[in-house]
Structure 1
Amino acid sequence: MKHLSRLNKYFLKYKWWIIPGSIFVVISNIFGVVPAQVIGYAVDLITENIQVYSLFNGFNRQQIIYDIFSQTLLFFGLLIIGLYLLRGLFLFFMRQTIILMSRHIEFDMKNDIYQHYQKLSLGFYRRNNTGDLMNRATEDVNRVRMYVGPAIMYTINTFVLSVLIIWSMFDVNSKLAIYCLLPLPFLVIIIYYVNTLIFKKSGKIQERLSQLSSFVQERFSGIRIIKSYVREDYTRNMFEIQSNEYKKDSMSLVKVSALFYPTMLLLIGLSTILTIYIGGVQVMNGSITPGNIAEFIIYINQLTFPVTMLGWVTSLIQRAAASQKRINEFLDIPSDIQSTNKEEHVLKGNLSFNDVSFNYADTGIQALKNVSFEINSGEFVAIIGKTGSGKSTLANLIMRMYDVENGLIAIDGQDLKSLNLKNYRGQIGFVPQEVFLFSDSIKNNIAFGLDTVTDDEVYDAAKNASVYNNIIDFEEKFETMLGERGITLSGGQKQRVSIARALIKSPKILIFDDCLSAVDTKTEEEILQNLGKIMKGKTSILIAHRISTIKNADKILVLDDGRIIEQGTHNELLSLNGSYTELYNNQLLEEESRTS
């Protein structure tokens, strides 16, 4: 239960749902136990009146006795129906409070988990796959909801009903009650043993389900590759293997449950047999009446429900505990990126790296080594280098997707870590290397970074990104719905929509992380020309592979193996006759070979 203690804050929040719900449980069970006593009286009445009716055989008064007997039975019948109707009414109230409360808690939990996920850094998402994240926020939360709703409701119901029934049994006859309840200790032992198994197996099943969800999500995302390499059969076989593992663990849990419930019913049946035998002996001795035996049999049958529910409820609690443990594992992970400053700061765009080094914790790769440079407000700075030289890492550090381990990144003379993170990122336009578009309209994808935006602003951003003419050629124009990850568009169109999304924010700092690689040279020149107008007086950082893209930059940084090996303007770097010159000459040769 220690894993489920995190839910106490929700119970406190919805205490005015739990308290009346618990009261309704008590009232409904009182109306559930009283009919057994009424039936006991009715059985005794029938027995006594049959004897009296027989004594008046042949007398005129026999019809009077029969009429009184019929009216009394009708009264008892209507009374029992009334009691059960009242019980049903309060059961309805019970479900309307406790079960509805569980849905509210489920809603709060999913929002809290999603909000916590949003706070976690990119490093967390590099270490965990999407399927597992989704499973913990959906399947695991659903299992926990079964605890905060049905499990709690039936736990209270089971406890109250059991207390009322056992108290009523001892009130009638202590000896008979003891014999009836004799099998219960064995049931407690069985429940304890089975619950231990259920807890272990439930945790394993949820892990299997996460693995299966991750497998399916990844394969659907990479369906184009699977079809291109004709690996459908291989993927299907892999899915079958994963499914069989999940089925094997699930069937193991089912077998435990299948053995558990018949055992409980057997013990309940044993109680019924003891009731009839011991009760019959006591009726012959005159200790109790036949009505008491009928009353006890009803109690035993009523006790079947709480005992059966005891097994089901404990199963729900164990499964919920296993799921909550998995949820807590992620909720207990603090964000690598902490921002406590609430003050908002208008960026000027001055940026400096002072002896910055950075290692990726999950791989141990040192991406940057003692990097130092300065960018003044309004400058156009380009970063170039071979694959794996650390260019994208620089962009992520400027965005503060990660925190540096050694050195200092300063924005307008202030430590980046001291700035209000939300306010800071809100003033940056970032175009990532790997374009991601949502399954939404083109218009909403472009306007994603703003809460309110006009159509004209969307059109202007699309024009500046040189994608406007492509969009208006579509039948639905800007209302065209994109497929998953923007699959409706070509690679170059996706890149330009992503650029438009960054431009519409009118950012103080604009970062392009090698995002012009998918567009042709003519379109690239058009975009850069438009950017020259838009970013005038604002800081822009362009990461690229092609020198033709960056030759007009105010400053060019050349990265190699996580270090800045050269920096300067295009002409200054060519005069050095170093790595930049070599890269420039290689690209010239490639262009000449393509044109020839």
Structure 2
Amino acid sequence: MKHLAALNKYFLTNKWLLILGLLFTAISIVFSVFQPIMVRQIFDLLAHNIDEYRLLDNTALKVAFRADFTHVLAFYGVSILIFALLSGFFLFLQRQTLIVMSRHIEYDLKNEIYQHYQKLDLNFFKMHRTGDLMSRITEDVSRVRMYVGPAIMYASRTLFLIVIIVYLMLQVNPLLTLYTLSPLPFLALTIYYVNRIIHRKSERIQAQLSNITSIAQESYSGIRVIKSYIQEDASARHFEEASEAYKDSSISLAKTDALFQPTMALMIGLSVILTIFIGGIQVIRGNITVGNLAEFVIYVNMLMFPFFSIGMVASMIQRAAASQQRINEFLQIAPAIKDEPDAKSVKLKGGVRLENVTFTYPHTGITAISNFNLHIKPGQKVAVIGRTGSGKSTLAQLLIRMYDPQEGKVMVDDQDIRHLRLADLRGQISYVPQDVFLFSDSIANNIRFGDPSASIETVQTAARQASVEKDILGFNDGFDTAIGERGVTLSGGQKQRISIARALIKDPNILIFDDCLSAVDARTEKEIIGNLYAYLKNKTAIIITHRIFALFEFDSIIVLDEGKIVEQGTHNDLLSLNGYYAELYARQQSGDDESVSE
């Protein structure tokens, strides 16, 4: 239960629903146990009056006696019916409170997990598969809901029913009660042993289900690659193998459950046999009445569901514990990137400074930036060029604080960004990533993602500045065109330009473009560069690229290699150095006219 203790805060939040549900459970049981008491009274009444009835043969009193006795039996019958209806009514209220409570907890738990996912840093998402994240917020939460709802409901009803019935049985005959309940210790040992097996198997099943979800998610996302390499059969085999393992584990758990329930039935059957045998002897000896024996038999039958539910509740709890353990693993991970206690809100002007920054990726151990120093004044335009793996994208990630460096400081307007509120920092910087991501929504809403309050006119202006407005208006639904998952219906260049429009609509003082023009042709690139040159006036811009924009007048161009600046200066300065920049420029000039912006 230690894993499920994390849910206690939700019970506290919904305490009134829980209290009412338990109260309705107790009232429902009280009304239900009145029925065997009345059955006992009927049997005893019959046994007591039957001899008197026979003595009245051939007398006028016999008819009156039978009429009175019929009225008494009718009263008992109606009373039993009324108590049954009242018990059912409060049972209905019990479900309406406890099951509703479980839905509230499910809602809160899903939101807590989702919000925690949002707070975790990029390294977490690189270390965990999307399918596993999805499984924990769906399948695992559903298993947990079975504990906070049905399991609590059945367990409380079982506990109240056993306590009340055992008390009433002891009042009638302690010896018969002892014999009737004698199989319970064996039942407890069985439950303990089987529960351990169920927990172990449930944990394995949930992990295998996460694996299946991950495989399916990756296959759907990469379906074009699978089809291009004709790997449909291999992909299907991979999924089939994972499904086979899940099926075998599920069947194994089902076999355990199949053994559990008959064992429970056997224990209950032994109780019924002992009740009738020992109770019959007690009746013969005159220690109890026939009505008491009938009452005991009904009590034992009433205990059948609680005993059966013990196994069901135990299974629910063990499965929920295995799922909650998986959920806790993520909820207990503290975000590496978060607001410091002294974090403050400021209006950014655009100055950027990196002082002796060294950064190593935690999941790979690769040092991407080493003893790095850079100073950008507000309003300056800086190009960052370098080979693949030179640290260009890492520089962008550090500036928007997706990661914190192990050494050195990243500063904006002479303030360490670790002392700024994350929402303010990222809200005042527009970042166009290298791997463009568009949501399964309309084009307008994808652009408006940068500023949800933007009007359609503002959206159109941003699209025009990103040179994508003509393409959008060419679609049947224009800006209302649904673009599918990850923008699958658009070309690479269109996705990049929509992503640029999303960044421009924020109208920030700092913009970072990470190789975001790689999929557009030279003519469109020149148009975008022209629009950006006018837009970026008085704004700080960092353009990360593997191309040279000769017509864009940069204040500074830096060339990275192995996480360090190896060349820095203006376009003409770098050409005079006759280094990597000059070599790249010459190669682009002579080798591929379309790869140079001129």
The amino acid of 1:176's aligned partner reads: L
Hey, what's the Cα distance between the residues in 1 that align with 2:139 and 2:540? 45
2 CA distance for matches of 1:233 and 1:29?
58
Kept in 2, the 8 Å contact 1:32–1:83? The answer is yes
- Give the aligned residue type for 1:353: L
Aligned to 2:354: 353
**What residue number does 1:163 align with?**
163
1:219 alignment partner AA:
S
Distance 1:592 1:154, change over 3 A: closer
**TM-score, normalised via structure 1 length:** 0.98
**Structure 2 partner of 1:144:** 144
Structure 1 residue aligned with 2:544: 543
The answer on whether the counterparts of 1:367 and 1:390 sit within 8 Å (CA) in structure 2 is: yes
Partner Cα separation in structure 1 for residue 261 and residue 493 of structure 2:
62
Map of 1:486 onto structure 2 = 487
Distance 1:9 1:281 in 2: 52
Residue 227 of structure 1 aligns with an amino acid whose one-letter code is K
Equivalent residues of 1:524, 1:549 under 8 A apart: no
Larger displacement relative to structure 2 (56-65 or 73-82): 56-65
Corresponding residue SS for 1:371:
strand
**CA apart distance, 1:376:** 0.9
The equivalent residue for 1:234 is: 234
Which residue of 2 is the match for residue 552 of structure 1? 553
Aligned residue number for residue 584 of structure 1: 585
Residue in structure 2 matched with residue 396 of structure 1 by the alignment: 397
Of 60-69 and 14-23, more deviation after overlay is shown by 60-69
Shift of 1:50: 3.6
Contact 1:439 1:482 in 2 (8 A): yes
Counterpart position of 1:442 = 443
Counterpart AA for 2:214: S
CA contact (8 A) 2:31 2:83 kept: yes
**333-342 or 144-153, larger mean C-alpha shift:** 333-342
Tell me the amino acid that sits aligned with residue 448 of structure 1.
F
Equivalent position SS for 2:490: coil
Q: By how many angstroms is 1:52 displaced?
A: 3.1
Structure 2 gaps, min length 5: none
| Partner Cα separation in structure 1 for residue 416 and residue 550 of structure 2 | 31
Distance in structure 2 (CA, Å) of the matches to 1:336 and 1:89: 52
Shift of 1:61: 2.6
Mapping of residues 78-97 of structure 1, within 5 Å: 78-97=78-97
Is the 2:343–2:418 Cα contact (8 Å) retained in structure 1? Answer: no
**Equivalence for 1:127:** 127
CA gap 1:550/1:24 in 2 versus in 1, 3 angstroms: farther
Q: How far apart, in 1, do the equivalents of 2:545 and 2:310 lie?
A: 65
SS at match of 2:592: helix
Rounded Cα–Cα distance in structure 1 between residues aligned with 2:200 and 2:320? 12
Contact kept? 1:542, 1:550, Cα under 8 Å: no
Q: Is the 8 A contact 1:551 1:570 kept in 2?
A: no
For 2:175, the equivalent position in structure 1 comes to: 175
Instruction: Report the alpha carbon displacement of residue 141 of structure 1 after superposing the two structures with TM.
Output: 1.1
CA distance in 1 between partners of 2:595 and 2:230 (Å): 32
CA contact (8 A) 2:522 2:595 kept: no
* Structure 1 contact 574–580 (Cα < 8 Å) conserved: yes
User: How big is each residue's C-alpha offset from its partner over 1:383-417, in whole Å with a ceiling of 9 and x where there is no partner?
Assistant: 11111111110110111100000111111011111
Q: 1:313: which partner in 2?
A: 313
Structure 1 contact 352–409 (Cα < 8 Å) conserved: yes
Pair 26,549 (structure 1): closer, same or farther in 2 beyond 3 Å: farther
Q: What is the Cα deviation at residue 342 of structure 1?
A: 5.0
Trace 1:179-578 onto structure 2 (pairs within 5 A): 179-340=179-340, 341=342, 343-548=344-549, 552-578=553-579
Tell me the CA shift for residue 62 of structure 1. Answer: 2.4
Shift of 1:550: 7.3
Within 2, Cα distance between the matches of 1:550 and 1:98?
69
User: Aligned partners of 2:235 and 2:125: how far apart in 1?
Assistant: 24
- Shift of residue 57, structure 1, vs aligned partner: 3.0
Deviation per CA, 1:125-149: give whole Å up to 9, x if none: 0111101111111111111111111
* Structure 1 pair 550–83 and aligned structure 2 pair: CA distance change class (3 A): farther
Whole-Å Cα distance in 1 between the matches of residues 374 and 345 of structure 2?
26
Counterparts in 2 of 1:343 and 1:550: CA distance versus 1, 3 Å = farther
Task: Find the residue that maps to 1:548 and give its secondary structure.
Answer: coil
Q: CA deviation at 1:30?
A: 0.6
Using the TM superposition, give the Cα deviation of residue 222 of structure 1 relative to its aligned residue in structure 2, in angstroms. Answer: 0.2
Shift of 1:552: 2.7
Post-superposition, which runs of at least 4 consecutive aligned residues in structure 1 deviate over 6 A? none
Residue 44 of structure 1 deviates from its aligned partner by: 2.1
1:88 is displaced (CA, Å) by 1.0
The answer to whether 1:112 aligns with 2:101 is no
Following TM superposition, by how much is the alpha carbon of 1:64 offset from its aligned partner in structure 2, in angstroms?
A: 2.0
CA distance in 2, matches of 1:593, 1:32: 85
Q: More deviation in 176-185 or 332-341?
A: 332-341
Counterpart of 2:273, as a letter, is I
TM-score, L = length of structure 2? 0.97
Amino acid at match of 1:372: N
- 2-side partners of 1:182 and 1:52: how far apart? 39
Matched residue SS, 2:36 = helix
Q: Is the 8 A contact 1:110 1:137 kept in 2?
A: yes
Q: 1:295 to 1:593 in 2, by over 3 A?
A: closer
- Residue identity matched to 1:143: R
Instruction: Name the SS of the counterpart of 1:543 in structure 2.
Output: strand
Q: 2: CA distance between counterparts of 1:551 and 1:456? A: 28
Measure, in 1, the Cα distance between the counterparts of 2:81 and 2:594. 95
Which sits farther off after the overlay, 542-551 or 243-252? 542-551
User: Aligned equivalents of 1:208 and 1:260: distance in 2?
Assistant: 24
How many angstroms does 1:593 deviate by?
10
In the alignment, the residues of structure 1 paired with residue 594 and residue 307 of structure 2 have an alpha-carbon distance, to the nearest angstrom, of 83
2:75 is equivalent to residue 75 of structure 1: yes
What one-letter code is carried by the residue in structure 2 that aligns with 1:319? R
* SS across alignment from 2:303: helix
